[in-house]
Structures are given as structure tokens and as C-alpha cells.
Structure 1
Amino acid sequence: MHMSSGGGLTPEQTERVVTIAMDLAREGSTEQLVEFVEHGLPVDVTDQSANSLLMLAAYHGHAGTVRALLRHGADPDLRNDRDQSPIAGALFKGADDVVSVLREAGADLDAGTPTARAAASMFGREHLLTD
């Protein structure tokens, strides 16, 4: 990962930046997070469990943050190391507005374990996946 400003960071600094960004995604601190991305943080950077910023924002129910990350090119289907997709995570947490945003972005309803469709039927939220 190469941050564009300030001539590159040490691995320790990079790790710290990623950790802060992950926390911002969890908290739904959209503006600060977008600033990081605009300054060179790869929008699809992941943590040790392969959770992307989008995954964390989706799982924690931050529709605005999810929308902003998608606008900056985040992959809506990037799965973590447990093969979970962001939209399945949002369904699991009952984050209906996040599910809508990811659907608009064309999230794959048949990817991952469980798939979004399976997660929706498990939690009685099939209506979120039908038009």
C-alpha cells in the first residue's frame, strides 16, 4: 500500500493508518474515512480477518459510509476470510438501509457463505431482496 502524500509510510505507520481507518468505518465516521481514501488509502484495504472498510461499515449499519465508500470505488462483494459478503453481514445485523444501498450498487446476492439470499431467509428478511 502506498500513501501518496509525505513520501510513503513505514510498515508500522501504514498499519496504524489502516487500524484507524477500520475504526472510522466501524463508527461510521464517513468524512474522516473518505479523507483517508482521498489521500491514498486503498478503498479495498482489509484487516487481519480480510474485512474491508465497506464490510465493517455495512456490518455496523452505516449506510452513509457504505454509500461514500462505493462512490470511491469500493468492491461491494469483497468477502472476508470467513467467506461473508458485506450484504450478508448487513442482513445478519438487520441493517435494512445498508442492504438497500448495496443492492443499488449491484451486490451479488448469491456469493459467499451464507449467501445474501440464504441470510435473508434465515432472518425473515426476504422482502429486502425482492423488488
Structure 2
Amino acid sequence: MKQRQQKKLSHRLFGAILAGDAKSVRILPRSGASPERRNADGTTPLYLASVQGEAEVARLLMEAGASPDAESRGPGSEGTPLCAAACWGYTETVRELLAHGADPTLREDRGAGWSPLDWADHGPHPDTAEVLRAAGAHPPG
């Protein structure tokens, strides 16, 4: 597939994620859109879905091949999808990410930053923190 077509499909995928359009997110990877291709800022599609709390969209992206632990690097969009969802208390999105293999102990900033549990606890989002603890997350120490 040509680079220009890939870029166009990626742009459409990001638009569908922003709109919470699960139908398009289901179709676009089948048409050749990569579920892991970052936008120009370095943001991953799964991070964007996670920070918005779009559990179904996140699930579809992972089913299409998006890595649940890939760290996003866009300005204001740095971190892992699980940290993004935990930060805002999006418990259903956290559950989807964990169900698809996201590491509940993985810290942001290549291991030097906060964990998903840190974000949930500081939210404070006790329901999200409980789900993370049940998945094996633990406080530092």
C-alpha cells in the first residue's frame, strides 16, 4: 500500500476514534489502516481511545493488532493506554486493556514514571484502582 494511502487511512482512523465511531474503527483496519500507526505528534490510536474512555473502540483496536502496552509520545499524550484510562477513571476501558494483556504494573516514561495504579489512586478513582489491584497492580514499596 502506498504511503499516501496509509497516511489517509490513518487520518480517518484517528477521526473515527475521536468521534467514538466504533463501526468505522472496525472497518478501517480491514481496509489497511494500521492500528499502531502514530499520528504526526506521536500519539498512538489506542492511547487516544483510552484517554477518551472508549472501551469498545479500544477493544476493536487491540483485536486489530494494537499493542496494549505501546507507549504514546505525543505532546500532552505521553504514556501507556492503561495509564491514560486509569488517570480518568475509565474502569471499563481499563478492563478491556487488561483483558487484552496490558501490564498493570508497567510504568510510563519507559519505566520511570507513574503506574496505572498511581494514576487511579491520585484520581481518585477507587473502582478503577480496585480493578487494577485485582489484576496484580501493587503500590510502590
Q: Tell me whether the two structures share a fold, i.e. TM-score over 0.5.
A: yes
CA contact (8 A) 1:27 1:60 kept: no
- 1:106 corresponds to which of 74, 91, 101: 101
Secondary structure of the 2:79 match is coil
Identity of aligned residues (%): 20
4+ residue segments displaced more than 4 Å: none
**Alignment TM-score, normalising by the size of structure 1:** 0.82
Match of 2:118? 118
Unpaired runs of 5+ residues, structure 2, are 135-141
CA contact (8 A) 2:17 2:48 kept: yes
CA contact (8 A) 2:50 2:85 kept: yes
Aligned-residue Cα RMSD (Å) equals: 1.8
- The letter of the residue matching 1:48 is A
Q: Where do residues 48-127 of structure 1 align in structure 2 (5 Å cutoff)?
A: 48-81=40-73, 83-109=78-104, 110-112=106-108, 113-125=113-125, 126-127=129-130
CA contact (8 A) 2:72 2:80 kept: yes
Q: CA deviation at 1:35?
A: 1.2
- The letter of the residue matching 1:101 is E
Secondary structure of the 2:72 match is coil
Q: 1:111 and 1:83 mapped to 2: Cα distance?
A: 12
Unpaired runs of 5+ residues, structure 1, are 3-7
